[in-house]
Structure 1
């Protein structure tokens, strides 16, 4: 079984400025500080923010349905402003998913604005099909709002 969910967020900053945040590990630092009720800690396990970088996500105690996992940056295209991250250990892989990939695209719009499109692609074993209901873009909507506030406060003039 396979599927996907998406979320889009319009930003009043140029795509280049949004990509400076979304295309790097800086986003992880912002998420760790901005979602303390969800994320307890994000550790850089390996890498420098490029392809092959591995992050360990530790969820806050009592967060239902979330278990710690490692994710790996599998694609970073600075020209097209696309980053893909896959869960490589724990989390969704422990409950029947065979693929859990997040693709972030920063799309240039007119008048120095941009759109961040986040798409979660997943595959899971048939016997775990009910777990598809755990896939949600809600967390990325929250991350988007934190990123939006950060970018507006730090907007280049």
Structure 2
């Protein structure tokens, strides 16, 4: 029997418009900034194949001491510039190595109707695994995606201040 699940969380980033945030999230810039700003929290990201479009494969190497497998590779499966949606799936290492049949991340960059200089980042994780592996479910967390959104938002705000 399979266990399927989904967790979603919205993070509000103040001071950065949706279009500016999408420029970072839509391609390889996100991985570059994660590597630069969050190497000890999330890890380092290295492009393996492609230039940031659908089909691009990146490798995320986790910081030392992170439980589980030390890396994962994911493929960009969807990039929708109009709706500002990006989806990736783990294809090797990480949750795949733990036995998950599916581990998909969906990132949506939404305009905050209350303020055009803030953005809502809706992060969703979808997963599927055999019920015999249910002990791995506590490892599924949206926290790294929230940390990433908050840190990149702060970085973009600071960057604006220094160039203004």
* Structure 2 alignment gaps of length 5 or more: none
Aligned pair count reads 157
Q: Give the RMSD, CA atoms, in angstroms.
A: 1.6
For 1:150, the equivalent position in structure 2 comes to 155
Which of these residues, 68, 81, 85, is aligned with residue 82 of structure 1?
Answer: 85
Which of these residues, 132, 135, 140, is aligned with residue 135 of structure 1?
Answer: 140
- Contact conserved, 2:88 with 2:104, CA < 8 A, in 1? yes
- For residues 37-81 of structure 1, give each alpha carbon's deviation from its aligned partner in whole angstroms, at most 9, with x where no partner exists: 244432110000000000011112222234311000000000000
* Structure 1 alignment gaps of length 5 or more: none
Which of these residues, 94, 99, 120, is aligned with residue 97 of structure 2?
Answer: 94
TM-score by length of 2: 0.89
- Contact conserved, 2:69 with 2:93, CA < 8 A, in 1? no
- Contact conserved, 2:34 with 2:43, CA < 8 A, in 1? no
Q: Secondary structure at the match of 1:44?
A: strand
Runs of 4+ off more than 6 Å: none
